[in-house]
Amino acid sequence: MKLILIGAPGSGKGTQAKYLTEKYHIPQIATGELLRAAVAAQTPLGRQAKTIMDAGQLVPNDLVIGMIRERISRPDADQGFVLDGFPRNIAQAIALDDILDKLGKPIDAVLQFDVDAEMLIQRMVGRLTCISCGALFNLFTQPPAIDDKCDECGSTLHHRADDNEEIIERRLTIFETLTQPLSDHYKHKGILHMVEAHGDVNEVTKRVKSALRGLRPKRTPVKPMLAPVATPDKNTKPKVKHVKIAERQPKLRPRKVIKTLTGNTTVKKLKIKKELPIVVNKKIIKATAKKKIDDAKAAADAKALEAALDKQLKELEKELKQTKAQLKEASVAERALIRAEKVKDAALKKALHAETTKLKKKQK
């Protein structure tokens, strides 16, 4: 089963993705985890993505699509997969359709999780994630038994820094402008299923089951196989038919009389038929030449793209260094300001104490 889960941040995609992976025994593919794994492994794509993310920029579509293509091609995704958080826009959706068509793995269904904005903010503000096992909790709807401790493995629970109201509202705005049009794209393809994602996890899981009930994985057409040809057994000897041939006496031909040529005798030239070499089809020549030109152009484009990416990465690294330097200067200035405030507060306290002492003396 090949599924895509789309929905706003906090709509419950990750929780339902884990249920689907266990039900169909297929991997969950999340772009965030792929990026983190690539960065940790220091792959070429991971290094590029890290530089861009450190600069606070969005990872380009080319890098994300390359990671998705490599992940879907692995053997454990032959029977299907659950895409969580990808695609995020129409460009990524079209690129994904092209990849899956070439691999012969069309999408079976797209589940869109629909939740109110207030509910989403509540879910994300109270969301807690286990650092070790990845279990999810919520301070409002599903709190852990012990504060900051995972019920599953006992490890520390983590609250994401970007789970605050200001950033959440910004992420919801980005979702509405970029990701929401995906529903129209997949609705046109006839594979979109809307899932009401309010309520507890079990209620949403029941709605997911209802949406997928009766759905069968799509299969690519298989070419008819030719009937197998029986191979002869090596141990059995082939039957030999014996044909009796009547003995014949060899037929003697009369010896030709060779006449010597004398005088003005003309000799006719023999016509020898020459075999011409096989001529290669012109279409094949043109196709071969065109392929070489296309390959050279593709190599040149790839080289130019690589050079452009390198240039962009260098610019990003330069900007990152400048930003770090500015942050350092701001930090130094902030510390100096804090020290000045402390000195000022101490002086004010000292002056206040002196005034208080004078007043007490006067009163006496």
The residues annotated as belonging to the active site are 13, 88, 127, 160, 171
- Evaluate whether 12 touches 204 at the Cβ level (below 8 Å): yes
Find, among 116, 84, 115, the residue nearest to 197 by Cα.
115
Retrieve residue 151's tokens: 């019920």
Q: In angstroms, what is the C-alpha Rg of the chain? A: 39
Cα distance between residue 128 and residue 34, in whole Å: 21
Torsion of CA 75, 76, 77, 82, to 10 degrees: -160
Residue type at position 159:
H
Retrieve residue 218's tokens: 């799509």
Strands 28-30, 2-7: pairing is unpaired
Q: Which residues contact 103 (CB under 8 A, 6 or more apart)?
A: 72, 73
Cα distance between residue 197 and residue 143, in whole Å: 19
